[in-house]
Amino acid sequence: MKLVVSGIDTYVYTNNKAIDASKPSIVFIHGAGFDHSVWTLFARHFSRHNWNVVALDLPGHGRSDSPALQSIEQMAGWTIDLIDTLGLSSAALVGHSMGSLITIEAASRLGPRATHAVLIGSISPMPVSEPILDATANKPGAAHSMLTSFSFSKQNLMGGNPNPGMWMVSDSMRRYEDEMESALDSDMRACNAYQRGLEAASQITAPTLMLHGDADRLTPLRATKPLLDTLHDGRMDIIPGAGHSLMVEDPNHVLDQLKIHLL
């Protein structure tokens, strides 16, 4: 579906269905340098179970027009504008990595309009190392390799995709290469600069699920405690053997947890 949000031509994946304001709704928010396609399995499932699904492409990503937004606060405001443009009175928010920070900020502003929140691979603050920032700015190919290497658990770097014949590492690299080079850099800098995550999390009224891999090297499990402790109604589910790219490393576990939390 194409629509205009805050003056930007925007693409959202809805499983080819019109939005029905009488149905419950889920907004899926992708991470840095990615797009709506990381959510296809999950969006299709909930669409088939009578939900509106909105897997968005942030500005400057996927099929949405540029420019990319420069801060988590701007991305959250834009996401709320999208929800309003679609005529949704309420929605569940599901975000991965950078998308989880957008979820935190947007849910804090939406109040009871955010019915549920799901934070996948999330910590706050979410610092990004100087070598990665240097690579995203000056050596995008190296940045893609670095981020892909650290996104998967060591066991899954060698294989392990539940879909026979598919290699998760190659899929991740292609996704990065398909995006505008400047978008990944601005995304990483937005994550690094966002400092009000715990303050915003304390204002979330929705029940919140945190999903985390115990082998996550980008947002280590040991760093999740401050965010989990701040949430008023939060719970953690840990996926054994998974890294940061949970939606491809263990999609069935992620889907099962989404169903438990949302249905």
Return mean pLDDT, the chain. Answer: 92
Predicted TM-score (pTM) above 0.75: yes
Is 154's pLDDT higher than 80?
no
* pLDDT for 145: 84
Given a cut of 90, is residue 169 above it in pLDDT? no
Per-residue pLDDT, 144: 83
Q: What percent of the chain stands above pLDDT 90?
A: 82
- The confidence score (pLDDT) of residue 151 equals 87
Q: Tens digit of pLDDT for each residue in 227-244? A: 999 999 999 999 999 999
The domains found in the chain, sorted by start residue, are 2-262 (3.40.50.1820)
* Segment 17-54, tens digit of pLDDT: 999 999 999 999 999 999 999 999 999 999 999 999 99
Alpha carbons 109 and 79: distance in angstroms, whole number: 11
pLDDT confidence bin for 170, thresholds 50/70/90: low
Is the model's pLDDT at 181 over the cut of 90?
Answer: no
Is the pLDDT confidence value at 161 over 60?
Answer: no
SS3 content of the chain, % helix, strand, coil (to 5): 45, 15, 35
Residues ≥6 apart with Cβ < 8 Å to 210: 118, 119, 120, 122, 224, 227, 228, 231, 234, 235, 236, 237
Residues 17, 25: contact at Cβ < 8 Å?
no
pLDDT score at 69: 97
What pLDDT is attached to residue 153? 80
- Residue, of 151 and 231, whose pLDDT is higher: 231
So what's the pLDDT on residue 163?
Answer: 57
> Is the distance from CB of 234 to CB of 261 less than 8 angstroms?
no
How far apart are the C-alpha atoms of 122 and 214, rounded to whole Å? 12
Give residue 258's pLDDT band: very low, low, confident or very high (50, 70, 90): very high
Express each pLDDT in 184-224 by its tens digit. Answer: 999 999 999 999 999 999 999 999 999 999 999 999 999 99
Q: Write down the pLDDT at residue 182.
A: 85
- Alpha-carbon gap, residue 104 to 43, rounded angstroms: 20
Asked whether residue 107 carries a pLDDT value surpassing 80, the answer given is yes
What pLDDT does residue 263 have? 84
